[in-house]
Chains A and B, each alone.
Chain A
Amino acid sequence: MSVLAIEYSGLKEINGQFVIYEGVDGASYEEIVELRVRGAGGFVKKTGQIVGISGDKVIIRVFEGTDGVSLTNSAIRLTGRPMEIPLSEEILGRVFDGAARPIDGLGELYAERKADINGKQLNPVSREYPRDFIQTGISAIDGLATLIRGQKLPIFSGNGLPHDRLAAQITRQASLGREGDAGDSFAIVFAAMGVKYDVAEFFRRTFEESGALERVVMFLNLANDPVTERIITPKAALTAAEYLAFEKGMDILVILTDMTAYAEALREISSSRGEIPSRKGFPGYLYSELAGIYERAGLVRGQAGSVTQIPILTMPNDDITHPVPDLTGYITEGQIVLDRNIHQQGVYPPINVLPSLSRLMKDGIGEGYTRADHPDLANQLFSSYARVGEVRALASVVGEDELSDLDKKYMEFGKAFEDGYLRQGKFENRGIMATIALGWRMLRILPKSELDRINAGILDEFYESDM
């Protein structure tokens, strides 16, 4: 197209990451433009995206930032294309920056095709409801907030809590590959948004140690990388994941960290555009943006492959009602919540099981999936552990000695649950049957009459012995 050749130089305004050009013909909404900036050492190329059009005036968000741009030293060229990334099976084992440019020194990628990073929405009637249990080897997750293939299950954490270790342990132990499969169909897509270099390096090392590096695609936008690229990173990663899953039939685990940094990047860009803020300064469309990311998980009916997401987010000030965890919880299919108090007791993984939840669990456990008693057992553990909280509150008022005998049993159960059930080693991989047996061992601390969530038949079968 001839349009591609035309350069426009009518730069009128520079504002944060945005530049405004006038006199531009034929620009289309959200297309990518190339910016040529004349500097001391020659021309610098930047990339931007059109985010607003009014007549011949276009607003462009510049990914690399607007440093060095003046009203006279730059020109743009329209590409006529939306934001795309190159795809081929060779992306496995590669490392890209936040805007999907290779940064591992292995050169450009030979692209089989290019794909729009916004993806397309999966038709709700084409989805397949996820039911396959994934064993992570972590009791608190397998037993009480089960991960299902095709689920989006975030980790809600706080700064200084071991969410990275937990995510690493899950990726190491999750036997995602289908039965009878050598693991060829399993791969990890890792996207870092605004995290420290050490965090990215920790994950890289973990993948390397487990020998999985060849099956990992990494997209890294670190804390000091451009904010405008940060909002592209998860979309690029998910585009790669969808390609591998639904075109190459692989089971993909996507780790996105840290979603809070992503949302803050959105806020920064929104405020520099002068948009009307909603809660805590975040833009009104934060929910839609987050949904556009989290909904890109799942299974497609009649097709091999799956995308399972484990987004990690840090709750500012450990506040679960902060807009980012709050909106996330409304979109994702449950959440795993880490707790600072449990962490301070020295328990790893410090999962607070009460607010943790897996919405897909009910259809992926029980008879034919894990074991018939699993749903009742999980319910009872939740209910009894919730009671522990009440008893502890009472004990802090009247003192532990003044508690009734039954309440003392609950205190004992609470301690045993945290030390025996929750706590496990960073490399300890517990099978689901071991987790279930452990759950029963905990419940036996309590009198049988207290176990009111368990079907009488199941209770009689399992309360006395392990089977």
Chain B
Amino acid sequence: MNAKGQIHGIDGSVIRARGSRGFIMGEMVKVGAEGLIGEVIGVEEGCVTIQVFENTTGLRPGDAVTGSGKPLCVTLGPGIISNIFDGIERPLRKIEELTGKFIARGAKVDSLDMERGWDVTVTAMEGDIVSPGGVIATVPESASVTHKIMVPPGVSGEIVSIRPSGPYTLRDPIAVVKTKSGGKRELYLWQEWPIRAPRPVAAKHPASVPLITGQRIIDTLFPIAKGGTAAVPGGFGTGKTMTQHQIAKWSDADIIIYIGCGERGNEMTQVLEEFTELIDPRGGRPLMDRTMLIANTSNMPVAAREASIYTGITIAEYYRDMGCHVAIMADSTSRWAEALRELSGRLEEMPAEEGFPAYLSSRLAAFYERAAYVRNLNGTEGSVSIIGAVSPQGGDFSEPVTQNTKRFVKSFWTLDRALAYARHFPAINWLTSYSEYTEDMENWYDDNVGKDFSSFRRRIVNILTEESRLMEIVKLIGADVLPDGQRLTLEIARVVRLGFIQQNAYHKHDTYVPMAKQRLMMELILYLYDKAKALIDAGVAMSAVRSSGIFERIIAVKFEVGNDEPEKFTEYKVEIDKFYDEVYASDIG
């Protein structure tokens, strides 16, 4: 018997209702004649508090509130990939068909298309003993993704009947399992899971394999692991969204979940358009074939914005359970935190810092802790990596969301306003960013990219650190007074900044760079450094070294050499040797 009540009070997206005592914390409820979806967030004697995921204008005291008896859930099954949902997994394309270009509330739509036929290959047999996570069938969900139909958590027993392979819809029961207690349970192509509870796993593993993004400053200097967490804080206009888009496009994850949480509508349109056209360099299929979007833009209801990141991560965990590597882009977690603050204010809770509720940090922790590299219940390995954008108020990183996020993420890519103003992109500041994964993954890099990778990386970092130290002096007295050796360091640092760190997202070669080429680029720059240093040490003037134009040549390598032309690096080395010989001959010889 589901709980029933009537609306008593309304304040924005929060309503209070009176009625039966049966309402459960976290329960999904329907509100008013239109059946708006809400969630119970407070229960006391005779009164429940509910957050409503749609606009509450026009609701009246006395309108019915009906409990559903179950928590707010997402439907998990084929049809998620390539789709776009709002914050509580309602498909926006279906809503458009039903209510037109402007969203009307109370639209009654199933999360997934229940009528669409899927070509199901059944892999389990009658008599099989199955346990949670066990795969009973597969479905080609998109050209890039094979969807595994799994036994839901909490169900185990013997398959007493199963259908043969063939076309089925989400309405068709595929198998019946007789559980240990003797009950029978029908299994469908889909299952449900509450968004606020992590899905179970067999074991968590330490993260030791990088998520390759094709972005040099990330992969080489501040990597993120598969199953890792990263935050991208930056004021407006510093390129948070751009960074997220680049990772969503080029990272070597199997599935991308892009959560537009309280951001611009046009950005979601752009992702939809671009990802449908762009081709995944690995699979050769459109990026949209491995991507799903959650769009709860800034003007959509605030409670659904709060729910959107949980919806996203629950879907991510579901694909992880199949043995996929999933990457989540959450843009932006600050908007999510603001949604928390707004709801907390309406509940008249005691605020902590800057009006944010005191539980901000525990909620952030709970979210980021759902990222992991795991062994699944069915024995496969999978991972969920989270890359969260943070939009600090006033670009000030000391504000509560940035500071609390910093405690729970291991890669921290700070976007810098000065770099963005100079249109140096990605505007990740190499002095304030960090990655705690670097050391854990050194072995992986040395084994898989090249044994000298880590040493190259350290030398590049040293050059940049040295540059920043020298710049302190230059700012006071100018570069001309520095000795030639230090001016060479500045010049090489310039090559590193322009030729390596700076990356053009709109250039066909430069937008994505494989690890092997990243290593060769570092090697080439360091080779130039060594040769030029030998000249300076031999007494050649810096002006003579610079006038050769070799530095500009090496900076241009990122545009001149295609990703599949590693042999060209040898030509550049020959060119550097020639430069060395010529300068040496004319100056010393």
A-side residues, CB < 8 A to B, are 26-31, 52-56, 82, 116, 118-130, 275-279, 283-285, 287-288, 291-292, 294-296, 298, 300-301, 303, 321-323, 326-327, 329-331, 333-335, 354-355, 357, 359-360, 362-363, 375, 379, 382-383, 386-387, 390, 393-394, 397-398, 402-404, 407, 449, 452-453, 455-456
Picked from A279, A291, A321, A329, the residue with its CB within 8 Å of the CB of B355 is: A279
The CA-CA distance from A462 to B557 in the complex, in Å, is 22
B549 at the interface (CB under 8 A from A): yes
A55 and B9 contacting across the interface, CB-CB below 8 Å: yes
B266 and A130 contacting across the interface, CB-CB below 8 Å: yes
A-B contacts, 14 of them at CB < 8 A, read A28-B57, A54-B8, A55-B61, A121-B297, A129-B270, A277-B355, A278-B341, A284-B344, A287-B298, A295-B299, A303-B101, A386-B418, A390-B475, A452-B555
B237 and A334 contacting across the interface, CB-CB below 8 Å: yes
Q: What residue of chain B has the Cβ atom nearest to residue A357's Cβ?
A: B237
Given contacts A82-B58, A121-B297, A123-B103, could you give 12 more A-B pairs where the C-beta distance is less than 8 Å?
Answer: A28-B57, A29-B60, A53-B9, A126-B102, A129-B266, A285-B302, A300-B101, A321-B394, A355-B237, A449-B549, A449-B552, A453-B423
B556 and A456 contacting across the interface, CB-CB below 8 Å: yes
Binary CB contact string for chain B from 138 to 170 against chain A (1 if under 8 A, 0 otherwise): 000000000000000000000000000000000
Chain B contact-residue range equals 35 or more
A453 / chain B contacts, CB cutoff of 8 Å = 423
Interface hub of A292, A331, A363 (most chain B Cβ within 10 A): A331
The CA-CA distance from A120 to B100 in the complex, in Å, is 11
B470 at the interface (CB under 8 A from A): no
A375 and B506 contacting across the interface, CB-CB below 8 Å: yes
A333 and B101 contacting across the interface, CB-CB below 8 Å: no
Closest 4 CB pairs of A and B: A321-B394, A291-B298, A278-B355, A386-B422
The smallest beta-carbon distance between B9 and chain A, in angstroms, is 4
A390 / chain B contacts, CB cutoff of 8 Å = 475
B452 at the interface (CB under 8 A from A): no
B395 and A55 contacting across the interface, CB-CB below 8 Å: no
B394 / chain A contacts, CB cutoff of 8 Å = 321-323, 326
The CA-CA distance from A296 to B474 in the complex, in Å, is 48
Q: What residue of chain B has the Cβ atom nearest to residue A298's Cβ?
A: B266
Picked from B16, B62, B478, the residue with its CB within 8 Å of the CB of A407 is: B478
Segment at the A interface, from B89-97, B307-315, B457-465: B89-97
The smallest beta-carbon distance between B90 and chain A, in angstroms, is 11
B92 / chain A contacts, CB cutoff of 8 Å = 123-125
B480 at the interface (CB under 8 A from A): yes
Q: What residue of chain B has the Cβ atom nearest to residue A353's Cβ?
A: B421
The CA-CA distance from A291 to B332 in the complex, in Å, is 14
Picked from B101, B342, B478, the residue with its CB within 8 Å of the CB of A301 is: B101
B104 / chain A contacts, CB cutoff of 8 Å = 120
A452 and B552 contacting across the interface, CB-CB below 8 Å: yes
A329 / chain B contacts, CB cutoff of 8 Å = 235-237
The CA-CA distance from A17 to B313 in the complex, in Å, is 43
Q: What residue of chain A has the Cβ atom nearest to residue B343's Cβ?
A: A284
**When A326-B236, A379-B423 are in contact, do A404 and B299 touch as well, CB less than 8 Å?**
no
The CA-CA distance from A375 to B504 in the complex, in Å, is 12
Contact residues of B: prevailing secondary structure = mixed
B58 and A333 contacting across the interface, CB-CB below 8 Å: no
A27 and B61 contacting across the interface, CB-CB below 8 Å: yes
Q: What residue of chain B has the Cβ atom nearest to residue A380's Cβ?
A: B423
Interface hub of A56, A125, A452 (most chain B Cβ within 10 A): A125
A125 and B84 contacting across the interface, CB-CB below 8 Å: yes
B478 and A284 contacting across the interface, CB-CB below 8 Å: no
The smallest beta-carbon distance between B251 and chain A, in angstroms, is 21
B265 and A52 contacting across the interface, CB-CB below 8 Å: no
B264 and A331 contacting across the interface, CB-CB below 8 Å: yes
A295 and B421 contacting across the interface, CB-CB below 8 Å: no
A283 / chain B contacts, CB cutoff of 8 Å = 345
**When A357-B237, A375-B506 are in contact, do A121 and B61 touch as well, CB less than 8 Å?**
no
Q: What residue of chain A has the Cβ atom nearest to residue B334's Cβ?
A: A330
B299 and A292 contacting across the interface, CB-CB below 8 Å: yes
**When A125-B272, A393-B475, A403-B478 are in contact, do A82 and B61 touch as well, CB less than 8 Å?**
no
The CA-CA distance from A54 to B47 in the complex, in Å, is 12
Q: What residue of chain B has the Cβ atom nearest to residue A283's Cβ?
A: B345
A335 / chain B contacts, CB cutoff of 8 Å = 236-237
The smallest beta-carbon distance between A280 and chain B, in angstroms, is 10
The CA-CA distance from A283 to B11 in the complex, in Å, is 14
The smallest beta-carbon distance between A307 and chain B, in angstroms, is 12
B268 at the interface (CB under 8 A from A): yes
The smallest beta-carbon distance between B69 and chain A, in angstroms, is 26
B237 and A54 contacting across the interface, CB-CB below 8 Å: no
B8 and A285 contacting across the interface, CB-CB below 8 Å: no
A279 and B93 contacting across the interface, CB-CB below 8 Å: no
CB within 8 Å of A: which B194-248 residues: 235-237
